[in-house]
Amino acid sequence: MTIKMTEVWKTFGEGHTAVDALRDIELIGPQGEFTVILGPSGSGKTTLLNLVGAIDDTSRGRIEVNGSDLAALDVDARTRFRRESVGFVFQFFNLIPTLTAVENVELVADLTHDDGAERAAAVLSEVGLADRGHHFPSQLSGGEQQRVAIARALVKQPPILLCDEPTGELDFETGRMILGLLQRISREHSQTVLLVTHNAAIGAMADRVLRLRSGEIVEDVRNENPIPATELVW
Ligand SMILES: Nc1ncnc2c1ncn2[C@@H]1O[C@H](COP(=O)(O)OP(=O)(O)OP(=O)(O)O)[C@@H](O)[C@H]1O
Ligand SMILES: [Mg+2]
């Protein structure tokens, strides 16, 4: 899916305490493009992902996904968009501790498919965790937990994947492995990816690198030769 943001503003609060988290964002993210978003803390990165994922609304401007205006969707269509078209991966995995790996994935798969259990098992094996399905999150390493979270995001085969610091809690080797997984799977499924990170080195794997500062896009660079994530160094 293609994401188009036109003159998008997001303001939190009112009057003298108002904060413009995003200012006049213009962005086209074509289908299948892998974009890395960099920027200091508070620059609006998470806010931008939340708007694209229809978790939050713009204050001004419009966001279109494949030509349809997110603000024009009724409540049901909006929920369907979030559920079927968007996969989220977060810094702190956000797994449900009382459910096993396969149940965490299945919980999402069940929402949209009758064959949830089978699909959950298949996608866990796609992220290399076929033999960990019945472990609880507390019995898994950080990298394994993040792979479960990625499996959960991917089980719906969403055309849009939004990742907020997905390697923030992981060591170098594990982080690189997770990025390699995201790169491979998003290419296979031609997903449009927005990946937020503080780590500028990760930009080398992306088709495009955006830099935010104080809610504005201050740099937008295309990368003709993205490197395999497995070759990243930082
Ligand atoms: N719900 C909210 N209410 C009020 N202000 C908010 C809210 N969410 C974000 N902000 C403000 O908007 C700005 C952008 O926040 P955002 O979370 O998008 O930053 P970020 O780039 O993701 O930062 P970090 O790297 O620390 O995660 C910040 O100034 C923040 O304080
Ligand atoms: Mg953030």
CB-neighbour burial class of residue 14 (10 A; exposed 0-12, middle 13-18, buried 19+)? exposed
Q: Which residues pair with 68 in a beta bridge?
A: 65
User: Where residue 131 falls among pLDDT bands split at 50, 70, 90?
Assistant: very high
3-state secondary structure of 90: coil
Q: Report how far ligand 2's centroid is from the alpha carbon of 116 (Å).
A: 31
3-state SS, 130-195, equals HHHCCCCHHHCCHHHHHHHHHHHHHCCCCCEEEEECCCCCCCHHHHHHHHHHHHHHHHHCCCEEEE
Q: Which pLDDT belongs to residue 110?
A: 66
Residue with tokens 């997984």, as numbered in its chain: 181
Q: Which pLDDT belongs to residue 115?
A: 80
Structural domains of the chain sorted by starting position, each given as residue range(s) with its CATH number in brackets:
3-93+160-231 (3.40.50.300)
Lowest mean pLDDT among 82-96, 105-119, 133-147, 198-212: 105-119
Nearest listed ligand to the Cα of residue 48: 1
Give the ligand 1 atom nearest the CA of 43: 21
> Ligand 1 pocket: which of 45, 90, 212 to mutate (most atoms <8 Å of CB)?
45
**pTM of this structure:** 0.94
3-state secondary structure of 9: strand
92 lines ligand 1 (CB under 6 A): no
User: Where residue 12 falls among pLDDT bands split at 50, 70, 90?
Assistant: very high
